[in-house]
Amino acid sequence: MPAIYLGALSGTSLDSVDVAAVDFDGGATLIAFASRPIDRAVAQRVTHLQTQPAPLAELARLDCEFGHLFADAVLALIEDQSLAAGAIEAVGLHGQTLLHRPDDACPCSVQIGDPNIVAARTGLTTVADFRRADIALGGQGAPLTPAFHRELFGHLERAAVVNIGGIANLSVLGGGEVAGFDTGPGNCLMDAWMMRHQQQPYDDEGRWAASAAPDRELLARLLAHPPFSAPPPKSFCTSQFHLGWLDDYLMDGADPAAVQATLAELTAATITDALRHHAAGAETLLVCGGGVHNRHLMQRLSALTGVRVRSTDTEGVPPDRVEALAFAWLARQRLARASGVIAAATGATQAALLGGVYLPPPGPPPGTEQKG
């Protein structure tokens, strides 16, 4: 019987909870995957908590609600796929990031989705809180995927991987140590602008952005934001790139479609700059995350980078499943007392053992007891 690990997260785009079941015997074989949409009202509460002062009670409520949301998603996957609970070693639970400030005087990163609830309801060992051990060692606590990208795609030479979620992050493969860092906004600004003006959660295939030309003066102002040109290690949070941040750069009378085109160009340009400065030898850029479905963005990446831009699907790994696979792998690493992070990527003084281990209570999970 294979040893199965589950990876569960809700990404920086706040669109869904993803759960993957993975067998790592001889590789990383995806057994099952499920994605459950996050209610827009709940997503808006998270966004408000990220950008506006809010009562501590709201943080506690959302931590509990997301704990149950993740537990529901895990249990549904197990039931739908008829997985044997005894074959599941652990759940790697990233949770939902609310705050990520590794450069503060007192560095911090906050994820919600109470792992105690997941462990109690599923009866499974749950590994969570992946970022703070690295931060305690002086690291950024992000990105956490470069080591896993090496596991999946390390056979490729002269290549890089970019995950475009709410935030975009780059992993540079080949040439010894793997570099990795956040490049800037991925989908978060485009999604927020789309919701403000089109009342849609995202720009389907980038059609609205493709309908107008970017505002080059606005783009220049945005690209002058100092963190974009700062050297790695570096990481970002969607709370840094909200509509209030964007509004400070806008002139009166800005054309909404041109702004959307500019935001797509900002994502493509910051990824391109990162590639040119830190992976100049790369000939292939593999793309995963929600941004892979934005056809306009993919075309702009191809035009700006001048390299082969293709989905991770071409390597047999569906682009929407890479991050969930990564957290299943990180849970496996933690239980094996092996680091899943590259200290050179995060800036930590040494590679940390990532994640706290939350054991389920003794006996069957609630609701599974036999009646007789």
Clarify whether residues 135 and 11 are in a common domain: yes
Clarify whether residues 307 and 340 are in a common domain: no
> Is residue 149 in some structural domain?
no
Clarify whether residues 182 and 327 are in a common domain: no
Radius of gyration (C-alpha) of the chain in whole angstroms? 20
In the chain, the percentage of residues whose pLDDT exceeds 90 is: 86
pLDDT at 368 over 60: no
Clarify whether residues 263 and 336 are in a common domain: no
Report the CATH number at residue 278.
3.30.420.40
Clarify whether residues 260 and 327 are in a common domain: no
Which band of pLDDT confidence, cut at 50, 70 and 90, is reported for residue 370? very low
The whole-number pLDDT of residue 372 equals 38
Q: What's the whole-number mean pLDDT along residues 220-230? A: 97
Q: What's the whole-number mean pLDDT along residues 251-278? A: 97
Which band of pLDDT confidence, cut at 50, 70 and 90, is reported for residue 157? confident
Q: How far is CA 185 from the centre of its chain?
A: 12
Clarify whether residues 110 and 135 are in a common domain: yes
Clarify whether residues 69 and 163 are in a common domain: no
What is the domain range of residue 249? 155-315
Which band of pLDDT confidence, cut at 50, 70 and 90, is reported for residue 176? low
182-193 residue pLDDT tens: 999 999 999 999
**Pairing assessment for the beta strands 108-112 and 159-164 based on DSSP bridges:** unpaired
> Is residue 119 in some structural domain?
yes
Give the separation between CA 99 and CA 51, rounded to whole angstroms. Answer: 9
Clarify whether residues 111 and 236 are in a common domain: no
Alpha-helix residue ranges (DSSP H) falling in the chain: 40-51, 56-80, 115-122, 132-136, 146-153, 188-198, 207-210, 216-223, 226-229, 243-247, 256-278, 295-305, 322-335, 343-346
Q: What's the whole-number mean pLDDT along residues 262-282? A: 96
CA 323, 324, 327, 333 torsion: positive or negative? negative
- Report the chain's mean pLDDT, rounded to a whole number: 94
> Is residue 372 in some structural domain?
no
Beta bridge partners of 202: none
The phi, psi pair for 269, rounded to 5°, reads -70, -40
The whole-number pLDDT of residue 371 equals 40
Give the separation between CA 51 and CA 43, rounded to whole angstroms. Answer: 13
pLDDT at 206 over 60: yes
Which band of pLDDT confidence, cut at 50, 70 and 90, is reported for residue 179? confident
Beta bridge partners of 180: 171
The whole-number pLDDT of residue 367 equals 57
91-146 residue pLDDT tens: 999 999 999 999 999 999 999 999 999 999 999 999 999 999 999 999 999 999 99
The whole-number pLDDT of residue 278 equals 92
Clarify whether residues 231 and 339 are in a common domain: no
Give the separation between CA 6 and CA 91, rounded to whole angstroms. Answer: 5
What global pTM score does this model have?
0.94
User: How many domains does the chain contain in total?
Assistant: 2
300-340 residue pLDDT tens: 999 999 999 999 999 999 999 999 999 999 999 999 999 99
Burial class (CB in 10 A: 0-12, 13-18, 19+), 59: middle
For 84, left (φ over 0), alpha (ψ -120 to 50), or beta? beta
Which band of pLDDT confidence, cut at 50, 70 and 90, is reported for residue 51? confident
The whole-number pLDDT of residue 24 equals 94
Classified as helix, coil or strand, 285 is strand
Clarify whether residues 176 and 204 are in a common domain: yes
The pair of three-digit structure tokens given for residue 163, joined into one six-digit string: 């995950």
Clarify whether residues 123 and 167 are in a common domain: no
